[in-house]
Amino acid sequence: MFPADLKYTKDHEWLKPMGDGTALVGITHYAQDALGDVVFVDLPEAGEAFGTGEEFGTVESVKTVSELNMPSEAEILEVNAALADHPEAVNEDPYGKGWMVKVRLKGALAADLMDAKAYEALVSAESH
Amino acid sequence: MSTVAAELKKTPLNAAHRALNAKMVDFGGWDMPVQYPAGILAEHEAVRTKAGLFDVSHMGEIRVKGPGALALVEHLTPNAVSKLAIGQVHYTAFLYENGTFVDDLLVYREGEQEFLLVVNAGNSDKDFAWVQQHAKGFDCTVVNESPATGQIALQGPLSVGILQPLTKTPLEPIGYYFFTHGEVAGIKCLISRTGYTGEDGFELYCAADDTEKLWNAVMAAGTPKGLLPAGLGCRNTLRLECKMALYGHEIDDTIHALEAGLAWIVKLDKGDFIGRDALLAAKAAPAPRKLVGFKTLEKRDIARDHMPVVQDGKQVGFVTSAAPSPTCGINLGLAYVPTEQAKVGGRIQIEIRGRAVDAEIIPTPFYKRQK
């Protein structure tokens, strides 16, 4: 539920540093569970740049919509095109096939990103 | 558990929902299942193709009985109560003097002078007070049976096949919007062929203490046939596809019965009822707005409840309910728009998070079952 190699935001996005200045970004298991069945993911174009916390897309479920916020300043390299036909991957595999964008990080990682332990504590507090 | 959750009202099935790992939400002050682990899409499809079982025990029940009961219910509601046969149900409303909605409800005719009124959970206390307040001078009793009553709704094309083995009451002869009394799984029930999904099905009313036993019996009978427990999430998408009104969305105390597209429950020639004068006047004048069905044209444009309908940057109407439609595969909604824009095939614009997007007005209901 909380992979140790990821960084987390308080808005329930995850960021996976790949070690070469790039990273993958998606939403957490907790986030997909709260949204329910995902039916559409609206993503930006490659080349667009976003500051830390800036909205870069939306994820729509049957019952609601949620903004996607960039965990750390970055430029979009690639979006997960498979989500156009298979948005349910976000529910089924949020840390794998449900990834949303691949980015090139700019500068240092945002200071308020959490490790798995801190994020687990946040989720635990929110669900009680 | 948070302190807020502890204050929510619970139906007799609360423990059953938790045992099924339902996701619970605050629905009008009630702790209700929005979905079970299968999810809204699977539950929605089960109701359309097999069957789903809903807990609707939160609904309110008010019994009106006595020599003046027919006259009181006629006074309180716009539909023609005297036309109901004993054992028949109809959809109707409580209206204010100005024709807007106190609530919508079902009226069950239990006897010549006995009626069961089934109202929305969130309006139940207001409705009971409304009926009591107007009952003065009518020779009848008004009893709030809500706390003593449980209700479950079995909905979907396999409903008869699932329920019949549990009861000696022949189900097939019960017509749509008729009811009878009988035993289901040994439990005394009011068996009503009604629902809020657009599918065949039954709503079963029983004593609150018997509800869990009834739920378990229907679940056990239906599960091998594909029955799923179904939450409020799919109840909303199912009713939206059929353009069934939801209080607080298509109808409320600012919208009158004619503009809501509910002229079919308003029998202006039946004699006096609360709201009749206002609706007569509204009928004589051109209607400024109308409830229409729409679809957005792009997959990414998903309208949601209460978003504005705009024209040239100004708000001219509002979305009442909207969602991606699981059955139709398009993004649907209902909206109040100016009458001159309310033609099928016409275009309107909806403001979605600051962006005006195109939508086309399409015929309703969006979904109709094959009979």
Q: Tens digit of pLDDT for each residue in B22-70?
A: 999 999 899 999 999 999 999 999 999 999 999 999 999 999 999 999 9
Report, as an integer, the average pLDDT of B97-114.
98
pLDDT of residue B7: 87
- pLDDT for position B262: 97
Indicate the residue of A58, A62, A128 with minimum beta-carbon distance to B233.
Answer: A62
Q: Is the peptide bond before B363 cis (omega within 30 degrees of 0)?
A: no
Comparing C-alpha atoms, which of A2, A11, A23, A1 is closest to residue A108? A23
Q: Compute the count of residue pairs across chains A and B with CB atoms less than 8 Å apart.
A: 40
Chain B residue numbers with beta carbons less than 8 Å from the beta carbon of A62 are: 40-41, 44, 233, 237, 323-324, 326
Residue B324 to residue A128, Cβ atoms within 8 A: no
B3: pLDDT strictly greater than 60 = no
CB A116 within 8 A of CB A4: yes
Domain B287-362 belongs to what architecture?
Answer: Beta Barrel (2.40)
Q: Do A37 and B353 touch (CB under 8 A)?
A: no
Distance CA A5, CA B82 (A): 70
- What is the predicted pLDDT for the residue at B370? 82
In angstroms, the Cα distances linking A16 to A102, A111, B84, B180, B371 are 9, 15, 65, 61, 53
DSSP label of A107: S
pLDDT at residue B371 greater than cutoff 60: yes
Residue of A nearest to B323 (CA): A62
Is the pLDDT confidence value at A55 over 60?
A: yes
What pLDDT does A127 receive? 76
Give residue B1's pLDDT: 41
Instruction: Look up residue A101 and give its DSSP letter.
Output: E
Enumerate the domain spans of chain B.
Answer: 1-285, 287-362
The two three-digit tokens of residue B332, written as one number: 């649907």
* Arithmetic mean of pLDDT, B63-92: 98
Among A33, A58, A62, beta carbon nearest to B323: A62
Q: What pTM was estimated for this model as a whole?
A: 0.95
The per-residue b/e assignment along A47-61, b for 16 or more CB within 10 angstroms, e otherwise, is: eeebebbeebbbbbb
B237/A40 CB distance under 8 A: no
Answer whether A62 sits within 8 Å of B326, measured CB to CB: yes
A91–B39 CB contact, under 8 Å: yes
Q: Could you tell me which residues of chain A have a Cβ less than 8 Å from any Cβ in chain B?
A: 33, 36-37, 39-40, 42, 58, 60-65, 91, 128
Q: Tens digits of per-residue pLDDT, B174-185?
A: 999 999 999 999
Chain A residues close to B233, C-beta within 8 Å: 36, 62-63
- For residue A61, give every residue at least 6 positions away whose Cβ sits within 8 Å of its Cβ, in sequence order, or none: A35, A36, A37, A38, A39, B40
- Is the pLDDT at B247 greater than 70, yes or no? yes
Q: Tell me the pLDDT tens digit for each residue of A35-52.
A: 999 999 999 999 999 999
Residue A76 CA to its chain's centroid (Å): 13
Task: Find the mean pLDDT for residues B346-358.
Answer: 96
Interatomic CA distance for residues A73 and B3, integer angstroms: 38
Mark B58-94 as b/e (b = at least 16 C-beta within 10 Å).
bbbbbbbbeebbbbbbbbbbbbbbeebeebebbbbbb
**Closest alpha carbon within chain B to A32:** B39
Please name the residue of chain B whose CA is at the shortest distance from the CA of residue A41: B300
Contact yes or no for B299 and A128 at CB 8 A = no
For chain B, the three-class secondary structure string (H helix, E strand, C coil) is CCHHHHHCECCCCHHHHHHCCCEEEEECCEEEEEECCCCHHHHHHHHHHCCEEEECCCCEEEEEECCCHHHHHHHHCCCCHHHCCCCEEEEEEEECCCCEEEEEEEEEEEECCEEEEEECHHHHHHHHHHHHHHHCCCCCEEEECHHHEEEEEEECCCHHHHHHHHCCCCCCCCCCCEEEEEEECCEEEEEECCCCCCCCEEEEEEEHHHHHHHHHHHHHHHHHHCCEECCHHHHHHHHHHCCCCCECCCECCCCECCCCCCHHHCCHHHCCCCCHHHHHHHHHCCCCEEEEEEEECCCCCCCCCCCEEEECCEEEEEEEEEEECCCCCCEEEEEEEEHHHCCCCCEEEEEECCEEEEEEEECCCCCCCCC
Alpha-carbon distance B343 to nearest alpha carbon in chain A (angstroms): 27
Residue B4 pLDDT class (50, 70, 90 cuts): low
CATH dotted code for B1-285: 3.30.1360.120
pLDDT score of A128 more than 90? no
pLDDT at position B6: 58
Distance from CA of A84 to the nearest CA of B (A): 10
DSSP label of A88: T
CB-CB: which of B35, B304, B324 is closest to A39?
B324
Nearest chain A residue to B329, by CA: A39
Taking the C-alpha atoms of residue B258 and residue B100, their distance in angstroms, rounded to an integer, is: 9
Per-residue pLDDT averaged across B159-184, rounded? 98
CB-CB contact of B364 with B320 (8 Å): no
Q: How many CB atoms lie within 10 A of CB B345?
A: 8
Give how far B350 is from chain A: nearest CA, Å: 16
The pLDDT mean for chain A works out to 96
Predicted confidence (pLDDT) at residue B146 exceeds the cutoff of 70: yes
The pLDDT of B83-100, averaged and rounded, is 98
pLDDT at B138 over 50: yes
Q: What mean pLDDT is predicted for residues A76-104?
A: 97
Q: Is the pLDDT of residue B347 over 90?
A: yes
Compute the residue count for chain A.
128
Q: Could you give the domains of chain A?
A: 7-126 (2.40.50.100)
B300-310 residue pLDDT tens: 999 999 999 99
